[in-house]
């Protein structure tokens, strides 16, 4: 009588579900080594700090993936390389911005004081101090006028494109014209406003409202596009639920669609204002230049900060001391800093408004 025995399975090697990893401090170590390795040729050849940073960055982007290839394998090396390239692209984008902000703050901050912000360029005495008050008022009023013209037109055009005109020929034409207007140079908008006001009011016409009209041509496409995208993001279920309750379409748009997309619409409007607040060419054509403070956009010339910066840089005057900075250059740098602060304040206000009026979501 024979006894059957179970077949024996060959013993297999244990499968490893983990792989060797570089230490967490590996990027820092490689960065230190890359900086030291790049310093030697830079010091010997006297290339400068910028070249040293570029060489160190290249050494880092090569050394870290090579080390990862040896320890972590091909997938880890590719991951390290792509991560390094992303960080490098981020630094390339941030460094010029930081350099610009540092330069503007360093050159413009000494010029800003109470006199600089409350006095205009109009002198009643030879030794009177001057400031940018007239240009600050002009910038705020002309930009406000452009927003009053552009925001209603842009939002209503976007509502028509999304809610009423889907697939219609008129909607396609509006979309095409908005795309064309998005790419027009600012000087073309200024020439259009200049020609329009000359035909209506006669030659030598320079008005602040003309600058608002020129800037509105640049703002409207941005407002239309941003509002259009925000309205597309509103779920169709919200519209259908409102229709099911018997709410008419116009009231659904006003009470449901627009409040839901309000945060994005406000952000788009802010971006449109930031797009035009620094324009110089159209305002130089139609709004003109003056040293007096003008509070009426429908009467006479009106100066804005970009135009003031351009004219002061073009005609800086004579420095008080030999080798010193001309007074016009100081005014230009101070005006540039104030203009940047205005744009930053607009962004902060937009974020606050978006956070307040955005629809509240619960769980």
Which parts of 165-303 fold into alpha helices (H)? 169-182, 186-201, 208-233, 236-244, 249-252, 258-260, 262-276, 281-286
What is the per-residue pLDDT for 44? Answer: 74
Angle (CA) 17-21-26 rounded to 5° is: 170
* DSSP structure class, residue 109: G
What pLDDT is recorded for position 346? 83
158-216: per-residue pLDDT in tens? Answer: 999 998 888 788 989 998 999 888 888 888 988 999 899 888 888 888 888 999 999 99
Residue ranges of domains in the chain, CATH in brackets: 26-109 (no CATH), 133-316+325-357 (1.10.3720.10)
Distance CA 157, CA 323 (A): 55
- pLDDT of 42 higher than 80: no
Instruction: Summarize pLDDT for 344-354 with one digit per residue, the tens.
Output: 888 888 778 77
Confidence (pLDDT) at 356:
75
pLDDT of residue 212: 92
* Res. 34: pLDDT tops 60: yes
314: confidence class by pLDDT, cuts 50, 70, 90? confident
Give residue 322's pLDDT.
73
Please tell me the least confidently modeled range out of 17-31, 131-145, 193-207, 215-229: 17-31
Query: Which pLDDT score is estimated for 128?
Result: 77
Range with the poorest average pLDDT among 35-39, 148-152, 305-309: 35-39
Give residue-wise pLDDT tens across range 237-277: 888 898 888 889 889 998 889 888 888 888 888 888 988 89
Contacts with 100 (C-beta within 8 Å, 6 or more apart), sequence order = none
Residue 138: which pLDDT band, with cuts at 50, 70 and 90? very high
Please give the backbone phi and psi of residue 6, each rounded to the nearest 5 degrees, phi first. Answer: -70, 140
- Asked whether residue 361 carries a pLDDT value surpassing 70, the answer given is no
| Model pLDDT, residue 13 | 53
Rounded to an integer, what distance in angstroms lies between the CA atom of residue 327 and that of residue 17? 70
Per-residue confidence (pLDDT) for residue 363, from 0 to 100: 45
List alpha helices for 9-73, DSSP H.
Answer: 26-45, 49-71
Q: Is pLDDT larger for residue 30 or for residue 126?
A: 30
What is the per-residue pLDDT for 216? 93
pTM: 0.80
Q: In this predicted model, what pLDDT tens digit does every residue of 272-310 receive, in sequence order?
A: 898 889 888 899 888 888 888 889 989 888 999 999 999
């Amino acid at each position: 009588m024979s006894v059957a025995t179970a077949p024996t399975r060959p013993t297999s090697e244990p499968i490893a579900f983990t792989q060797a990893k570089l230490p967490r401090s590996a990027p820092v170590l490689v960065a230190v080594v890359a900086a030291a390795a790049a310093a030697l040729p830079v010091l010997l050849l006297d290339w400068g700090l910028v070249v040293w940073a570029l060489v160190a960055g290249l050494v880092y982007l090569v050394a870290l993936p090579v080390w990862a290839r040896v320890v972590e394998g091909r997938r880890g090396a590719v991951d390290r390389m792509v991560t390094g390239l992303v960080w490098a692209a981020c630094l390339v984008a941030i460094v010029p911005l930081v350099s610009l902000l540092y330069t503007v703050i360093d050159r413009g901050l000494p010029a800003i004081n109470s006199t600089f912000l409350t006095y205009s360029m109009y002198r009643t005495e030879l030794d009177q101090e001057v400031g940018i008050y007239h240009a600050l008022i002009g910038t705020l009023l002309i930009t406000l006028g452009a927003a009053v013209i552009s925001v209603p037109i842009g939002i209503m055009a976007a509502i028509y494109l999304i809610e009423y005109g889907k697939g219609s020929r008129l909607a396609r034409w509006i979309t095409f014209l908005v795309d064309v207007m998005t790419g027009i140079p600012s000087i073309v908008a200024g020439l259009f406003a200049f020609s329009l006001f000359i035909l209506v009011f006669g030659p030598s016409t320079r008005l602040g409202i003309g600058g608002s009209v020129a800037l509105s041509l640049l703002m409207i496409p941005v407002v239309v596009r941003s509002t259009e995208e925000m309205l597309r993001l509103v779920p169709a279920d919200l519209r259908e639920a409102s229709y099911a309750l018997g709410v008419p379409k116009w009231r659904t748009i006003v009470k449901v669609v627009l409040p839901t997309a309000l945060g994005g619409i406000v952000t788009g409007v802010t971006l449109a204002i930031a797009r035009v607040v620094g324009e110089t060419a159209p305002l130089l054509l139609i709004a003109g230049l003056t040293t007096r403070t003008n509070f009426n956009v429908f009467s006479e010339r009106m100066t804005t900060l970009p135009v003031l910066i351009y004219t002061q840089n073009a005609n800086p005057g004579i420095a008080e001391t030999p080798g010193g900075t001309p007074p016009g250059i100081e005014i230009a740098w101070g005006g540039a800093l104030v203009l940047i602060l205005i744009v930053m304040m607009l962004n902060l206000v937009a974020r606050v408004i978006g956070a307040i009026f955005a629809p509240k979501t619960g769980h």
